[in-house]
Amino acid sequence: MRAKATLALDKKETFSDGSIVQIVVWDLPVPLMGSRHRYKYSLYFGKNGVCLVRYDNERGKGDHRHINGKEEEYSFVSISSLLADFWNDVERMGG
């Protein structure tokens, strides 16, 4: 029997200025291709339909983040570091 992914975190919040934060983290039985850890994640901050900050990892692409339209590699250390880095970028982008 194959182990299944477990939803570790699922949160969406809409703020009074219309900005949105959505955080989804899955704990996988094995790492995605391109990642060295067992998490699949998507962290999003946007306003008025524009993505300002997004952290995610895609199969084969690995860990990366999008800041104000620019994509760059991201060095995943832990879920707590991921969340701290995300919130720091959200704050820098006016969230």
Kindly report, residue by residue over 30-45, the tens digit of the pLDDT: 988 888 899 999 999 9
54 touches 24 (CB < 8 A): no
pTM above 0.95, yes or no: no
Residue 76 has pLDDT above 90, yes or no: yes
40 touches 26 (CB < 8 A): yes
Distance CA 16, CA 23 (A): 18
Element (H, E) at 72: strand 70-73
DSSP sequence for 17-59: TS-EEEEEEEE-SSPPTT-SSSEEEEEEEEETTEEEEEEEEET
- For residue 1, what pLDDT is reported? 56
* CA distances from residue 34 to 40, 41, 63, 72, 76 in whole angstroms, order as listed: 11, 13, 8, 15, 12
